[in-house]
Amino acid sequence: MDELLFEVDDGVALITFNRPHARNAHNRAMLVGLADVMAQMAARSDIRVGVLTGAGGNFCAGMDLKAFLAGEDMRVPGTPMGELGKPVGKPMIAAVEGYALAGGFEMLTFCDLIVASEKACFGLTEVKRGLVASGGGLLWLPRHLPFRIANEMVLTGDYMDTETLFRHGFINKIALEGQALAGAMDYARKIAANGPLAVMASKRIMRESASWPLDEMFARQRPLTQPVFASEDAREGATAFVEKRTPAWKGC
């Protein structure tokens, strides 16, 4: 059985964690597969947005502790997690059913949008196992949640429910149980219909600008936005609007 499933349709890449017998806990093989998928996401012009989900009613329960005890090295270059990670340039949407725990929860912190089932369960549970959330959770979570809420998750290791994280702005949309993927695909199709250069530049600026000095913000933004305004897609978008038709994006 493939540890990770990958399919592309009409600009949307669907990435599915596929270890349902282990609540999709990740071993090295799954992370190697994820690194390969991320490389394809970056290289392929036919992919405009990615959707991340899990098979069998769970998102991902974190690191497979049996694999950890067996000595598997989980430091895989090319995944978005950890110090060896690479940023994802294209939008990523998570569709969460069931458990999203530990490393599985950390994967949510590099996603741009999250749709979660009303019955989903979230947690950074590493401290309960004598471990540390070193895959980005400690670094990114305080940027996504109020500081004391992030502290509560990290230091207690307790679960949080969908409604609580929605109320604090971590989740975009609550779906009925079993409908998270449908909600995520709705977002994905809307994003895939937009200008790809504009979407990627917008994502990059939104992610990076939080650390820019106020007096340099527009200067740092300019080299990222100017190529978009000068692109064929910019003219195509304006022309399609005037001609009352759907744009035919070229990504250049």
Asked if residue 252 belongs to a domain, the reply is no
Asked if residue 249 belongs to a domain, the reply is no
Question: Are residue 225 and residue 116 in the same domain, yes or no?
Answer: no
Domain boundary among 166, 192, 218: 192
Q: What is the per-residue pLDDT for 82?
A: 63
Question: Are residue 104 and residue 204 in the same domain, yes or no?
Answer: no
Q: What is the spatial distance between Cα 202 and Cα 184, in angstroms, rounded to a whole number?
A: 19
The per-residue pLDDT for range 140-167, each reduced to its tens digit, is 999 999 999 999 999 999 999 999 999 9
Q: In this structure, are residues 184 and 93 in contact, taking their beta carbons and an 8 Å threshold?
A: yes
The per-residue pLDDT for range 30-82, each reduced to its tens digit, is 999 999 999 999 999 999 999 999 999 999 999 998 988 998 888 888 888 76
Domain that holds residue 32: 4-192
The domain that contains 172 carries what CATH number? 3.90.226.10
Question: Are residue 201 and residue 187 in the same domain, yes or no?
Answer: no
Question: Are residue 120 and residue 84 in the same domain, yes or no?
Answer: yes
Average pLDDT of the chain, as a whole number: 94
Q: What is the per-residue pLDDT for 83?
A: 62
pLDDT higher than threshold 80 for residue 19: yes
- Provide the annotated active-site residues: 106, 126
Q: What is the spatial distance between Cα 125 and Cα 77, in angstroms, rounded to a whole number?
A: 23
Q: What is the spatial distance between Cα 250 and Cα 252, in angstroms, rounded to a whole number?
A: 5
Long-range contacts of range 241-250, CB-CB < 8 Å, 24 or more positions apart? 246/193, 247/195, 249/195, 249/196
Question: Are residue 21 and residue 141 in the same domain, yes or no?
Answer: yes
Question: Are residue 126 and residue 73 in the same domain, yes or no?
Answer: yes
Question: Are residue 229 and residue 201 in the same domain, yes or no?
Answer: yes
Residue 86 pLDDT grade (very low, low, confident, very high; cuts 50, 70, 90): low
Q: Which residues contact 62 (CB under 8 A, 6 or more apart)?
A: 25, 26, 101, 102, 103, 104, 105, 125, 126
Asked if residue 247 belongs to a domain, the reply is no
Question: Are residue 24 and residue 75 in the same domain, yes or no?
Answer: yes
Question: Are residue 228 and residue 138 in the same domain, yes or no?
Answer: no
Asked if residue 171 belongs to a domain, the reply is yes
Domain boundary among 153, 173, 192: 192
Asked if residue 202 belongs to a domain, the reply is yes
Beta-carbon-side half-sphere exposure of residue 115 (alpha carbons within 13 Å): 21
Domain count, the chain: 2
